């Protein structure tokens, strides 16, 4: 087994989620390569060193260019704020590194396209951490849809609701709060939360053709942590949009950080001619399924507890009935990435596939400004399910 030397950029929430995946995956999956936590890179030397100690990274860098220049790094994992993704990815691709990037791939489609061009020119394997595809119940939904059990799809309904930015005293900018700073994040809930919903939707139901959106920024000014001044807020606090898929189905998407009582309520429901599916992140190990072809007297919504050995990924974990959680989706995604390298069949979503999500986000934000329906730029799949 070959050692795969990993260089992680970023030591925040996602740096931890990814590091946990690198460490856990070899214990539960038969991997072709042995991940080795070679270096972590972050601006603050003391914080990066503390992170390295906690997670077992062998060395520390404070400049990502130095990390990329190191010949002992095989794979660069980008887990830092969105405004740095492009420059790091382009430089790492040029240096021939394998690339993983936290979602959203970039702040805009234009930035993402440069990243796609760089990895494709260099021919380096790449993937974006849209982790919810790898929750076993969500992967099961994909299997059921691909088997044709739902028949023709009529409706797709997705929501991602949170409530952590309601206080007007919450500042913008700086560690953890860069998600409120439009310069750094690119957008608010559209890029941060709806991007997840869009990625899953493209995967489950194919490309989106056009969108009609509205956004709102409820708190117009917040103190900026880095400048100390009260500054205009440029992100969308809430976004809702209607959409048409290329397959003729209709969609509604909604996201907000102002839904008091909801912490990370990602839900989707799909209604087909024969059957419907519902999933809820707060109850992530269950898939709700209704099949009209069941015998009438016992027909009804059934709850599938997705924990059996023949459910996606579950054979790698405990005995049937015992649940796994959020962090396992990252473990699955990393294992799939390495398996993709072994088979020469890239794990999804690649940068090119994630570009399509960026194009949907662009169209959504444009539509919210123009107050008109906007076409989605054609992405990677040419309208087919990916």
Which chain residues interact with ligand SOE by CB under 6 A?
162, 192, 196, 264
CA distance 52 to 207: 40
* Structure-derived torsion over alpha carbons of residues 225, 84, 362, 278, reported in degrees to the nearest 10: -80
360: nearest Cα among 105, 56, 179: 105
Smallest gap from Cβ 190 to ligand SOE, in A, equals: 12
The residue whose two tokens read 């040419």 is 382
Least Å distance between CB 269 and ligand SOE? 19
In angstroms, what is the minimal distance from the CB of 302 to ligand SOE?
27
Kindly tell me the burial class for residue 95, based on how many C-beta atoms sit within 10 Å of its own C-beta (0-12, 13-18, 19 or more). Answer: middle
Q: Please identify, using beta-carbon distances, which residue of 33 and 254 lies nearer to ligand SOE.
A: 254
What is the Rg, in whole angstroms, of the alpha carbon atoms belonging to the chain? Answer: 21
The secondary structure of residue 191, as a DSSP letter, is I
Is the peptide bond prior to 104 cis by the omega test (within 30 degrees of 0)?
yes
Q: Checking phi first, is residue 70 left (phi over 0); if not, alpha (psi -120 to 50) or beta?
A: beta
Of 162 and 205, the one with the shorter C-beta distance to ligand SOE is 162
Residue whose C-beta lies closest to ligand SOE: 192
Q: What is the dihedral of CA 343, 349, 355, 356, to 10 degrees?
A: 120
- Least distance CB 323 / ligand SOE (angstroms): 18
Asked whether 320 and 71 are in contact (CB, 8 A), the reply is: no
Q: Minimum Å distance from CB 82 to ligand SOE?
A: 10
Distance between CA 205 and CA 190 in Å, rounded?
19
Rounded least distance, CB 119 to ligand SOE, Å: 21
DSSP string over 324-350 = --HHHHHHHHHHHHHHHHHHT-PPSSP
Residue 324: other Cβ atoms inside 10 A: 21
**DSSP three-state, residue 249:** coil
Q: Cβ closer to ligand SOE: 5 or 82?
A: 82
Q: Given the complex with ligand SOE, which of 188 and 272 has the nearer CB atom?
A: 188
- Whole-number Å distance between alpha carbons of 303 and 283: 11
Residue pair 152/48 in contact (Cβ under 8 Å)? The answer is no
CB of 240 to ligand SOE, least distance (A): 18
Q: Tell me whether residue 253 or residue 289 sits nearer to ligand SOE (CB atom).
A: 253
Rank residues 33 and 192 by Cβ distance to ligand SOE and give the closer one: 192
Our CB check for ligand SOE shows the closer of 217 and 247 to be: 217
Q: Which is nearer to ligand SOE, 250 or 264 (CB)?
A: 264
132 vs 289, beta carbon nearer ligand SOE: 132
Query: C-beta of 33: minimal distance to ligand SOE in Å?
Result: 26
Residue closer to ligand SOE by CB (options 5, 108) is 108
Nearest distance in Å: CB 238, ligand SOE: 14
Q: Going by C-beta distance under 8 Å and a sequence separation of 6 or more, which residues neighbour residue 56? A: 23, 37
| The two structure tokens encoding residue 236 | 């969308």
**Cβ–Cβ under 8 Å, residues 348 and 339:** no
Residue 310 tokens, joined: 């023949």
CB of 165 to ligand SOE, least distance (A): 9
């Amino acid at each position: 087994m070959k050692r795969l030397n990993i260089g992680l950029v970023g030591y925040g929430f996602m740096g931890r989620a990814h590091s946990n995946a690198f460490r856990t995956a070899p214990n539960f999956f038969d991997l072709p390569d042995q991940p080795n936590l070679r270096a972590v890179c972050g601006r603050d030397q003391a914080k990066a060193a503390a992170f390295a100690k906690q997670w077992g990274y062998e060395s520390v860098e404070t400049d990502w260019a130095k990390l990329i220049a190191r010949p002992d790094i095989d794979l660069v994992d980008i887990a830092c704020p969105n405004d740095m993704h492009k420059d790091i990815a382009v430089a790492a691709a040029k240096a021939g590194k394998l690339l993983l990037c936290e979602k959203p791939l970039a702040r805009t489609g234009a930035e993402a396209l440069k990243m796609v061009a760089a990895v494709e020119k260099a021919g380096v394997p790449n993937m974006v951490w849209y982790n919810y595809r790898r929750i076993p119940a969500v992967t099961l939904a994909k299997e059921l849809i691909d088997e044709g059990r739902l028949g023709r799809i009529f409706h797709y309904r997705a929501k991602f609701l949170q409530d952590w930015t309601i206080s007007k005293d919450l500042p913008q900018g700086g560690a953890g709060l860069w998600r409120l700073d439009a310069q750094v994040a690119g957008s608010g809930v559209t890029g941060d939360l709806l991007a997840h919903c869009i990625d899953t939707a493209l995967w489950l139901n194919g490309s989106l053709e056009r969108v009609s959106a509205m956004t709102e920024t409820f708190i117009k000014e917040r103190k900026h942590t880095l400048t100390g001044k009260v500054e205009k807020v440029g992100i969308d606090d809430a976004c809702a949009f209607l959409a048409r898929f290329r397959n003729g189905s209709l969609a509604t998407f909604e996201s907000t950080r102002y839904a008091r009582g909801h912490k990370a309520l990602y839900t989707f429901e799909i209604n087909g001619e024969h059957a419907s599916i519902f999933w809820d992140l707060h109850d992530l190990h269950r898939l709700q399924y209704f099949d009209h072809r069941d015998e009438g007297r016992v027909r009804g919504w059934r709850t599938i507890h997705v924990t059996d050995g023949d459910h996606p990924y579950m054979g790698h974990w405990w005995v049937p009935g015992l649940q796994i959680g959020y962090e396992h989706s990252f473990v699955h995604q990393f294992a799939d990435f390495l398996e993709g390298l072994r088979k020469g069949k890239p794990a999804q979503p690649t940068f090119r596939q994630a570009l399509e999500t960026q194009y949907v986000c662009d169209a959504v934000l444009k539509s919210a400004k123009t107050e008109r329906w906007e076409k989605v730029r054609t992405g990677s799949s040419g309208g087919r399910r990916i």
